Amino acid sequence: KVTHPGVASGVGPVPPPPCPGRIRHFKI
């Protein structure tokens, strides 16, 4: 019986890196 190899789920939303967090105003 032939089965297809598993297919990657595709490009989903990339989670943000855990740190550092977002810049709320501006970076100096």
Partner 1 sequence: TPVVLGLEERNPACDDPETEAAALAGVDYLNQHVRWGYKHVLNQIDKVRVWPRRPSGEVYELEFDTLETTCHALDITPLANCSVRTVTQHAVEGDCDMHVLKQDGQFSVVFAKCESTPDSREDVRKVCPQCPLLTPVNNTKVVHAANAALAAFNAQNNGSHFELLEISRAQLVPLPVSTYVEFAVVATDCAAADGTDPACSGPPKKQYGFCKATVAEKLGGEEVSVTCTVFPTQPVAPLPQPDAASSANPPPAADPAVSPPSSPSVPVDSVALGPKRV
**Minimum CB distance to partner 1 smaller for 6 or for 13:** 13
**Minimum CB distance to partner 1 smaller for 7 or for 23:** 23
- 28 sits near partner 1 (criterion: CB under 8 A): yes
Q: How many residues bind partner 1 (CB under 8 A)?
A: 12
Rounded-to-integer distance, Cα 21 and Cα 15, Å = 12
- 25 sits near partner 1 (criterion: CB under 8 A): yes
Cα 14 to Cα 3, 17, 18, distances in angstroms: 29, 9, 12
Return the residue of 1, 3, 13, 24 that touches partner 1, per CB under 8 A.
Answer: 24
